[in-house]
Structure 1
Amino acid sequence: MKIKTMLTGLLSAFLAVPAYAQNLEVIGRPVDGGIGFQPQATELARDIQMLNGMILVIITAIVIFVVGLMAWVIVRYNRRANPTPASFTHNTPVEIAWTIVPIIILIGIGAYSLPVLFKQQEIPEGDVVIKATGYQWYWGYEYVGTDLAFDSFMIGAPATGGDNRMTPEVEAQLIEAGYSKEDFLLATDTAMVVPVGKTVVVQVTGADVIHSWTIPAFGVKQDAVPGRLAELWFTAEREGIFFGQCSELCGINHAYMPITVKVVSEEAYEAWLQNSLDEGGYSDVRQVLTN
């Protein structure tokens, strides 16, 4: 029976892949062994990565200067090269320099970092407003101003017939849903769908413990605290599938609480939203993209 189920799933997945899988490119995905950022998909992410690069240059220069200075002092003023050390205890010009220079550096960093921070925290009026609620261990989404609401579980989680392990049955579910085996622990059975180029405001809260809603490629992260309603915003600049994960330790299945966001054209979004409302619940956006 298990083999029959697996073969049926693989067959349906094989038939579905040509029609659906290539509609949206998977862009925001972690890379094994990767040490850099995910591709920039919003202005916020671009600002953060720019700021990171600038600060990296500054701190690298500081490290090189300090290490070089220490090496010079060790060589120039060791006991063999300088058997009679100086007896003075103060050097006013040096003390002024090591006070003023760090202040200038910090002011320069602040001049760039504070506008980036304020841009994240000043929430604009949203073209689309979505409430994201963290549960142990899945996300619930409500499209504010509509009747659309749905839950989002990791493919392979107990709620979707798995046990948090990669099995042939789970692989068949991933392929049938338009994902690949590499997307295990990232892909969800439903996804937040948003239009490209529109301002999306996400209201974030928690229903039980503290969670955190994060999409690295968007440059957004917001704790979901029970009893509080926080907000974040982004404007996706390219269509595709983006992944995130709960980023606040929230219990035994914290590792199995991913986030999937599908960015589609404005026309496809409107068609998907209307189709979902007509069906009384979440509809697969791939059906809209292939029509």
Structure 2
Amino acid sequence: MKMSKGRLSRRMLGFAVGAGMMIAAGAAFAGMGQPTPWEYTLQHSASPVMDSVNWVHNFLLWIISSITIFVMILLVVVMVKFNAKANPVPSKTTHNTLIEVIWTIVPVLILVAIAVPSFRLLFEQLDIPKSDLTIKVTGKQWYWTYSYPDHGKFEFDSLMATDKQPRLLAVDNEIVVPVNKVVRVQVTGADVIHSFAVPSFGIKIDAIPGRLNETWFKATKEGMFYGQCSELCGKDHAFMPIAVRVVSDQEFATWVEGAKKKFASAPANSFASLETAAR
């Protein structure tokens, strides 16, 4: 019997160590700007809003885990201490004032503790600070159109590129923004409801025909960041990726000058075609 208990203890310890290693590995390999195979954590943050999202997520995880462990302990105690063998004569207690007060007040305090940071995060997402540039996003079946009204009012289409990596996320024309600048994003739809979402920036907002929604982000790291349409919008919903390239101020200024010539020269050339994207 002692050997059995020792073996069980070692197995439980091994399971705990393995779970800890998996958690550490998941955090270490969480994607920067794109999904990672076997990832179960959030993508790495690249904006102040996503920093707040991560904090609230981790805070809620501690609360949920504590409640789960507490309930499991109660279940074990009840099964061991109050089974028919241990208690041949069952208790006939009908109520306990102290316990009833505790299980009413404690959940209320927990909900308040959850509500305060949640509302703070919601306010941070919706309260758009003074922007350094504005990008207008129009969702269409099944691609995105982007325009830069502060930089010459040029616009271009962005379609999924089949000859680039990462698969199903690369596009022919990327959004380009400068690092550490507040970007106001105005989102609408041209046909059905779409949803503009970039996980690393902590943004997700619906693109609704006839309505202009706004969100914002401030990219704190240079590099490529990907998202996808997050509202079922038809047969090619899965093929509406979003690609954002974050560059330095100098690189952004250079890109703007090139984009003005490339996309604003003729209206007919400002829209990418499906054939162009396929090539």
Match of 1:94 in 2: 99
Deviating above 6 A after TM superposition, structure 1's stretches of 4 or more consecutive aligned residues are: none
The 5 Å alignment of 1:129-168 reads: 129-145=134-150, 146-156=152-162
Q: Which residue of 228, 231, 234 maps to 1:251?
A: 234
In 2, distance between residues paired with 1:42 and 1:125? Answer: 16
The 5 Å alignment of 1:257-268 reads: 257-268=240-251
Match of 1:112 in 2: 117
Q: Is 1:127 the counterpart of 2:110 in the alignment?
A: no
1:244-270 superposed Cα distances (whole Å, 9 cap, x missing partner): 000111111111010000000011111
In 1, distance between residues paired with 2:206 and 2:125? Answer: 14
Q: Which residue of 75, 84, 106 maps to 1:79?
A: 84
In 2, distance between residues paired with 1:195 and 1:201? Answer: 12
Shift of 1:35: 0.6
In 2, distance between residues paired with 1:35 and 1:155? Answer: 27
Match of 1:231 in 2: 214
Percent identity of the aligned residues? 47
Q: Which residue of 42, 61, 69 maps to 1:64?
A: 69
Of 133-142 and 76-85, more deviation after overlay is shown by: 76-85
In 1, distance between residues paired with 2:59 and 2:263? Answer: 49
SS at match of 2:216: strand
Match of 1:11 in 2: none
SS at match of 1:28: coil
SS at match of 1:151: strand
In 2, distance between residues paired with 1:32 and 1:50? Answer: 23
Higher relative contact order, chain-length normalized (CA < 8 Å, sep 6+) = 1
In 2, distance between residues paired with 1:65 and 1:72? Answer: 11
RMSD, aligned CA: 1.3
The 5 Å alignment of 1:205-220 reads: 205-220=188-203
Letter in 1 for 2:124: K
For structure 1, list consecutive stretches of 5 or more residues without a partner in the other structure.
Answer: 1-25, 157-169, 175-179, 283-291
Shift of 1:108: 1.1
In 1, distance between residues paired with 2:122 and 2:54? Answer: 13
Letter in 1 for 2:209: P
For the 8 Å contact 2:156–2:263, the answer to whether it is kept is: no
Q: Is 1:48 the counterpart of 2:53 in the alignment?
A: yes
Shift of 1:243: 0.5
The 5 Å alignment of 1:4-19 reads: none
Paired residue total: 234
1:170-216 superposed Cα distances (whole Å, 9 cap, x missing partner): 3xxx2xxxxx4xx0100000011101010001001111111110000
Q: Is 1:187 the counterpart of 2:193 in the alignment?
A: no
TM-score by length of 2: 0.81
Letter in 2 for 1:44: V
Shift of 1:125: 2.3
In 1, distance between residues paired with 2:114 and 2:263? Answer: 50
Shift of 1:280: 3.9
Shift of 1:71: 1.0
Match of 1:164 in 2: none
